Chains A and B, each alone.
Chain A
Amino acid sequence: MKFTGTAHRYGRDIDTDVIIPARYLNTSDPDELALHCMEDLDAAFVSNVRPGDILVAEENFGCGSSREHAPIAIKHSGVSVVIAKSFARIFYRNAINTGLPIMESPEAVDAISGGDVVTVDADTGIITNATTGAVFTAQPFPPFIKEIIESGGLVERTKGSLPGRV
């Protein structure tokens, strides 16, 4: 799968409370959650983001709570892929499990500025900064994780494996 969009660039330790503040966790409606995505960090994000745009951040993206509302809000805000230097582990699992594409590439993050147009090939891991022409390769996923992604998420993979389970 290929994605092209404008980069929205943030710093390190972007926590799940700023991705989706807890005051909105009294609902699990994806479209409602998307209306408040990144609200406490960048109130203009929701009005600026366009379908296909790319979220770019530094280390430890998604730290804090286990709320799956965070990847759901990001996905339904229109973001196609998140590129970070590293991901907090619960967010990493949640993104894989729910089908939000994520890529780890410290080099790409350093070479992308907010507003750059970026193209990502999720199959090959190739990240291209179309604005500057720079090309990077993200860390590949282990085969097991790839299997979940290719199944379309953990629920889809589980459906396939249920009858044979021990």
Chain B
Amino acid sequence: MARPMTITEKIFAAHAGLEEVVPGQLIECDLDLVLANDVTAPIAIREFGRIGTERVWDSAKIALVPDHYTPNKDIKSAEQAKIVREFARAQGITHYYEIGCMGVEHALLPEQGVVGAGDVIIGADSHTCTYGALGAFATGVGSTDAAVGMATGRAWFKVPESLKFVIDGELRPGVGAKDLILHIIGMIGVDGALYQAMEFTGSTIAALGMAGRMTICNMAIEAGGKSGIIAVDDVTREYMTGRTERPWTEYHSDPDAVYARVYEIDAADIVPTVAFPHLPSNTRPASEARDITIDQVVVGSCTNGRYEDMAEAAAVIKGHTVHPNVRMIVIPATQQVYRDMMHTGLTDIFLDAGAAVSTPTCGPCLGGHMGILAAGERAVATTNRNFVGRMGDPTSEVYLTGPAVAAASAVLGRIGLPEDMDGGEHR
């Protein structure tokens, strides 16, 4: 009988061919998927070339998603994307996504059924931790790890300690998954989960849909976490059924599994939250940020670019107009989200309000393109980082929020809440 283990330890043990693992143990694991994008894949491909093997380990278990600087921002990024495209063709990579089917990787791969419960996934992108929402172990790595993963189907890991976050109760009206994860990062700091797996559980998590769960696991890295994870339940099963292309495996933490720390959070204590520059942990209640005037609002990204996020923003902005001093940029994370927004009328709501609606791209989230800030400008963004210079000039500022506060702020011309808006049809 193996020792009691957390969900993360069980996934690792299964992929390392061991009966049990303990935190701190160094292991080599079989991988289910290796991911890279147009920024990280070119270096991974260069390193792959140095390993001395001709072919990738499994052309169906590698995902290459050119999403950061695409559609190509300039000649240099076009050259980077070309390296990825040519490699994908030469290797017959099944999950290569060209413009027209490309989406922001961490919204796209779950949507397309490329990731599933029980997987071990490495991605040369820090927000790879998003897939923990499906009950997988998924973590960000660099290009060299991705290169070796592409060649061998294996990677080395230090089994992390786990932190357990038990969130119980009903979220207040107007409070969403983004507020919850910002609340947690504000509580434990940007290295509060350094090297550790963040396991989220409790009735609040159980009541969340997959989009909200992905928002939460997506930002585990902003607390320094190695991964975020939520065990499979009926919500997960319903999402994966008919979608996930490989058979999945469900793991659950043993009741007596050992955690480095357990945090108990009352959902009623969470309010609409803003992370002020220049760290995601620099959080304050949105109600205390009402004097911050803004120049731009971005709704999108791997954190909040899913249909549910678009619907949340649209519900607030419906019947209102974007403030004359604000540029509002709405970026559906995938082609499917884009299409669904058109069919359900969300695109019209944004266009009527005076927002720009873009093709999928990471774009402004990382200061790549499609909405770069000038010196001294301020943006409210549903993205994940607000580091110095993240969205443009080093003197510009990014305030992180959920979609509802972002939409209200676009109308108000300052950071604000939906209830601060006059008239219209908002909640």
Q: Which residues of A come within 8 Å of B, CB atoms?
A: 13, 15, 17-18, 21-23, 25-28, 39-41, 59-60, 63-69, 71-72, 86, 88-90, 93-94, 97-98, 142, 144-145, 153-155, 158-159, 162, 165
Whole-angstrom distance between the alpha carbons of A71 and B52 in the complex? 23
Q: Are A97 and B144 in contact (CB under 8 A)?
A: yes
Listed from nearest, the 10 A-B pairs whose CB atoms lie closest are A94-B142, A68-B142, A26-B76, A97-B144, A60-B191, A40-B389, A26-B77, A22-B366, A40-B394, A17-B387
Q: Given the interface contacts A21-B367, A22-B368, does A67 sit within 8 Å of B40 by beta carbon? A: yes
Within the complex, the shortest CB–CB distance from A44 to chain B, in Å, comes to 14
Q: Are A66 and B140 in contact (CB under 8 A)?
A: yes
Interface members, chain B 1-33 (any A CB < 8 Å): 26
**Residues from chain A with Cβ under 8 Å of B367 in the complex:** 17, 21-23
Please tell me if B377 contacts chain A, counting CB pairs below 8 Å: no
Q: Are A68 and B143 in contact (CB under 8 A)?
A: yes
Q: Given the interface contacts A68-B143, A142-B26, A155-B144, does A162 sit within 8 Å of B68 by beta carbon? A: no
Whole-angstrom distance between the alpha carbons of A17 and B384 in the complex? 13
**Residues from chain A with Cβ under 8 Å of B162 in the complex:** none
Q: Given the interface contacts A89-B194, A155-B50, A158-B51, does A65 sit within 8 Å of B126 by beta carbon? A: yes
Whole-angstrom distance between the alpha carbons of A139 and B69 in the complex? 39
Further pairs besides A98-B144, A158-B152, A159-B50: 13, Cβ < 8 Å: A25-B68, A26-B77, A28-B42, A28-B46, A60-B191, A65-B125, A67-B142, A90-B140, A97-B145, A144-B26, A155-B51, A155-B148, A158-B151
Within the complex, the shortest CB–CB distance from B126 to chain A, in Å, comes to 4
The interface centre, meaning the residue of A88, A89, A165 with most chain B CB atoms within 10 A of its CB, is A89
Please tell me if B136 contacts chain A, counting CB pairs below 8 Å: no
Q: Are A69 and B43 in contact (CB under 8 A)?
A: yes
Within the complex, the shortest CB–CB distance from A41 to chain B, in Å, comes to 7
List the A residue with the shortest CB-CB distance to B195: A89
Q: Are A90 and B390 in contact (CB under 8 A)?
A: no
List the B residue with the shortest CB-CB distance to A148: B156
**Residues from chain A with Cβ under 8 Å of B378 in the complex:** none
Classify chain B: how many residues form its interface, as a range: 35 or more
Within the complex, the shortest CB–CB distance from A160 to chain B, in Å, comes to 10
Q: Which residues of B come within 8 Å of A, CB atoms?
A: 26, 39-40, 42-43, 46-47, 50-53, 68-69, 73-74, 76-77, 80, 123-126, 128, 140-145, 147-148, 151-152, 154, 156, 158, 190-191, 194-195, 221, 224, 226, 279, 366-368, 372, 385, 387-390, 394
List the B residue with the shortest CB-CB distance to A165: B152
List the A residue with the shortest CB-CB distance to B43: A28
Q: Are A97 and B73 in contact (CB under 8 A)?
A: no
Whole-angstrom distance between the alpha carbons of A97 and B155 in the complex? 12
Q: Are A66 and B73 in contact (CB under 8 A)?
A: no
Q: Given the interface contacts A13-B190, A159-B52, does A93 sit within 8 Å of B42 by beta carbon? A: no
**Residues from chain B with Cβ under 8 Å of A97 in the complex:** 142, 144-145
Within the complex, the shortest CB–CB distance from B147 to chain A, in Å, comes to 7
Within the complex, the shortest CB–CB distance from B226 to chain A, in Å, comes to 6
Within the complex, the shortest CB–CB distance from A35 to chain B, in Å, comes to 14
Q: Given the interface contacts A25-B68, A59-B191, does A98 sit within 8 Å of B142 by beta carbon? A: yes
Q: Are A27 and B76 in contact (CB under 8 A)?
A: yes
Q: Are B142 and A162 in contact (CB under 8 A)?
A: no
